[in-house]
Amino acid sequence: MAYRYANRNQLQLFPSSIEDYIPLDDPVRAYDAFVEALDLEKLGLNLDPHQAGNPQYHPKVMLKLVVYGYAYGIRSSRKLERANHHNLSFIWLTSGLTPDHKTIAEFRRKNRSQLADILKQCAKMCIQLNLIEGNTLFVDGSKFKANASIKKSWDKKKIQKVLNNIDQRIATILNQCETVDEAEKGCGSLVKMDQELQDQDVLKTKVQGILKELETKKQTSLNTTDPDCTRINSLAGTHAGYSVQSVVDEKHGLILSADVVSENNDLNQFSQQINQANALLEHKCQVACADSGYASTTELAKIDQQGIKVVVPSQRQASEKIPSPFAKDQFSYDKIHDCYICPEGHTLTFSHLNKNKKNGHKHYLISAKKICLACPHYGVCTSSQHGRKVIRLANEELREKFEAQYKEPESQAIYRKRKAKVELPFGHIKRNLGVNAFLLRGLPGVKAEASLFGTCFNLVRMITLLGVTTLVSLLKEIGGKYPTSLGGIG
């Protein structure tokens, strides 16, 4: 059997122009066209060709390098530098310019807020190209690890434990000092103990400073490496991280907006994320959909009051458990007489208002406890000697409205699309690009990275929907509205 061989010393003829390196339908041309179409002034990138000093790399060159790198999971500044020397696509994209890793890292660090707004301009382009309609929006969140160890997270319990250990160690050292013989002074025992004592005092001062900062910020925990991150509980365990929020349009599954929050759950995010997306659309969506993780009646009501249909299941609707025949929803509420009727036909009347709760929940009790004690279902429905009790939430009517709304056939059809639309971007970012953690620290940094992730996903979808040559042509029309000093669109 014959084998193929090659000689690396054989002379090769490369194209004389960098432009000829890349075919017209190569995806890299779409990324180049996208950056050329950006309005840098609106982004806030400083363009001053007359500034003193050594000439800098044009912001568009740096943006192309970063955006294209993120699109293929290359985020490290050193890896970007290496790719820019060895990968023809990168060489073409930067026109042969070779910024080093320090320059790349510095550009990304200094322009975090500008990078965080790139997704907004990308979404605006999608709206202009009629790829985003904004009629039905899907919201979802996913946990990402922070560039910090959970071991660097402190809460009051951990701080108090460490302080107690320090005090015990200091007391032990002082006791040892008293028992050291005078003859041992020359051996340095007391000198070593004195140094350790100083180290413990320094550590105690540092830990007390963390406690003071924790109390000042009124937080339950604080990470000393990345103070903006929070303790995240996930299937992978507990780690320091962030929650990335994404709002996706129904038409083509394109990301309309993305945000990053220091929250362990999604309960407080629904109205904020939908309102941000509507602001970008410049009109209100017709339907807003999310999973049960967003089922906060207060949050859903804020969107419902705007005339937007809310399709979000409650926690009990999302649960796969078989409902008990004596669960609360099996009791019918009589609004006129303000009472509940149990499955056996007995009445539970209003007892009192729970003043400990912020909104005041209402308690309903069986009219006579002997009714429950004599009931054949006693022990299943309730085992209380005082009989069955039902608590009605202050916003129970709204909750029932949203539950009924979710059950509608039209709502069910919308909800069935949710996974395919809003979970796909996170799947692409985490599985295809291998991104499970942020590189940058602090909210400004992670928001910049989240914006880049969303932008890169949208560009992949736009290439799939329109094709490279068509997309480049359309982006060139959009880019013609803004002045540019680069002629990078091929």
Average pLDDT in the 296-307 region? 93
Q: Residue 160: pLDDT above 60?
A: yes
From 194-208, 316-330, 336-350, 427-441, the region with the lowest mean pLDDT: 194-208
- pTM of the entire predicted model: 0.85
Rounded average pLDDT over 391-399:
82
In this prediction, residues 75-104 reach a mean pLDDT of: 94
Q: What does the pLDDT read at residue 180?
A: 61
Give the single-character DSSP code of 251: T
Q: What is the pLDDT of residue 407?
A: 92
Higher pLDDT: 151 or 369? It is 151
CA angle (161 as vertex; 160, 162 as ends), nearest 5: 90
Of residues 454, 425, 451, the one with CA closest to residue 115:
451
Q: Residue 476 burial (CB < 10 Å; 0-12/13-18/19+)?
A: middle
**pLDDT score of 479 more than 70:** yes
Q: Please provide residue 191's backbone torsions phi and psi, each rounded to the nearest 5 degrees.
A: -65, -45
The fold of 136-145+241-316+409-432 is: Nucleotidyltransferase; domain 5 (3.30.420)
Higher pLDDT, residue 397 or 292: 292
In tens, the pLDDT along 2-16 reads: 788 778 887 777 777
Give the per-residue pLDDT at 485: 43
Residue with the bigger pLDDT between 216 and 34: it is 34
Torsion, CA 275, CA 276, CA 282, CA 283, rounded to 10? -30
Query: Whole-angstrom Cα distance, residue 136 to residue 249?
Result: 6
Angle, vertex CA 174, rays to CA 169 and CA 176, nearest 5? 95
Decide which of 380 and 472 is more confident.
Answer: 472
| Ranges 98-112, 227-241, 395-409, most confident | 98-112
CA distance 458 to 197: 58
Q: Quick one: average pLDDT of 434-449?
A: 95
Average pLDDT over residues 134-149: 94
- Whether 92 has a pLDDT exceeding 50, the answer reads yes
Pairwise pLDDT comparison (385 vs 277), residue with the higher score: 277
Q: How far apart are CA 224 and CA 117, in angstroms?
A: 28
Residue 483 in this model has a pLDDT that exceeds 60: no
Per-residue pLDDT at 490: 38
User: What is the separation of C-alpha 152 from the centre of its chain, rounded to a whole number of angstroms?
Assistant: 21
Read off the tokens for 459: 């560009």
pLDDT-based confidence at residue 90 (cuts at 50, 70, 90):
very high
The amino acid that residue 417 corresponds to is: K
Return d(Cα 436, Cα 239) in angstroms, integer: 12
The pairing of strands 230-234 and 287-289 is: unpaired
Among 310, 306, 312, 313, CA closest to 284: 306
Calculate helix-pair angle for 443-466, 59-71, nearest 10 degrees. Answer: 70
CA angle 13, 19, 21 (to 5 degrees): 45
Residue 481: per-residue pLDDT: 58
pLDDT band at 439 (very low <50, low <70, confident <90, very high): very high
Average pLDDT, whole number, for the chain? 86
More confident residue, 72 or 14: 72
- Decide which of 167 and 32 is more confident: 32
Q: What is the band of 487 on the pLDDT scale with cuts at 50, 70, 90? A: very low
Residue 108 binned pLDDT confidence (cut-offs 50, 70, 90): very high
- Name the band, by pLDDT with cuts 50, 70 and 90, for residue 325: confident
Strands (E), 319-411: 332-334, 339-341, 347-354, 361-366, 389-392
Alpha carbon distance 442, 300 (integer Å): 29
Residue 103 pLDDT = 94
For the cut 70, the answer to whether the pLDDT of residue 486 exceeds it is no
Reported as a pLDDT band with limits 50, 70 and 90, residue 358 is: low
- Measure the CA dihedral 438/439/441/446, to 10°: -50
Number of H helices, E strands in the chain: 19, 13
Please state the rounded mean pLDDT for residues 150-163: 80
Instruction: Using the predicted structure, report yes or no on whether residue 268 has a pLDDT greater than 90.
Output: yes
DSSP class per residue in 307-343: TPEEE---HHHH--SPPPTTSGGGSEEETTTTEEE-T
Give the range among 194-208, 236-250, 263-277, 448-462 with minimum mean pLDDT: 194-208
For the CA atoms of the chain, what is the radius of gyration? Answer: 31
Per-residue pLDDT tens for 166-181? 777 777 777 777 666 5
